[in-house]
Chain A
Amino acid sequence: DAGVIQSPRHEVTEMGQEVTLRCKPISGHNSLFWYRQTMMRGLELLIYFNNNVPIDDSGMPEDRFSAKMPNASFSTLKIQPSEPRDSAVYFCASSLGLAGLDEQYFGPGTRLTVT
Chain B
Amino acid sequence: AQTVTQSQPEMSVQEAETVTLSCTYDTSESNYYLFWYKQPPSRQMILVIRQEAYKQQNATENRFSVNFQKAAKSFSLKISDSQLGDTAMYFCAFSNFGNEKLTFGTGTRLTIIP
Closest CB in chain B relative to A23 CB, distance in Å: 14
Q: Which residue of A is nearest B106, CB measured?
A: A42
CA separation between A100 and B31, bound complex, in Å?
A: 10
* Contact (Cβ within 8 A) A101 B106: no
Number of A-B residue pairs at CB separation under 8 A: 54
Chain B residues, CB < 8 A from A26: none
CA separation between A89 and B104, bound complex, in Å?
A: 15
* Contact (Cβ within 8 A) B44 A106: yes
Chain A residues, CB < 8 A from B99: 99-100
Tell me which of B50, B52, B102 has the highest count of chain A C-beta atoms within 10 A of its own C-beta: B102
Chain A residues, CB < 8 A from B91: 43
* Contact (Cβ within 8 A) A99 B105: no
Count of chain B residues with Cβ under 8 Å from any Cβ of A? 24
* Contact (Cβ within 8 A) A100 B95: yes
Whether a CB of chain B sits under 8 angstroms from the CB of A18 is no
Which residues of B pack against A, CB within 8 Å? 32-33, 42-47, 50, 52, 91, 95-107
Q: What are 27 A-B residue pairs whose CB atoms fall within 8 Å in the complex?
A: A42-B104, A42-B106, A42-B107, A43-B91, A43-B107, A45-B101, A45-B102, A45-B103, A48-B101, A91-B45, A97-B100, A99-B97, A99-B98, A100-B32, A100-B95, A100-B97, A100-B98, A100-B100, A101-B50, A103-B47, A103-B50, A104-B45, A104-B102, A106-B44, A108-B42, A108-B43, A109-B43
Which residues of A pack against B, CB within 8 Å? 31, 33, 42-45, 48, 50, 55-56, 89, 91, 93, 95, 97, 99-104, 106, 108-109
**Top 8 A-B pairs ranked by shortest CB distance?**
A106-B45, A43-B104, A103-B47, A42-B106, A100-B95, A99-B98, A100-B33, A109-B43
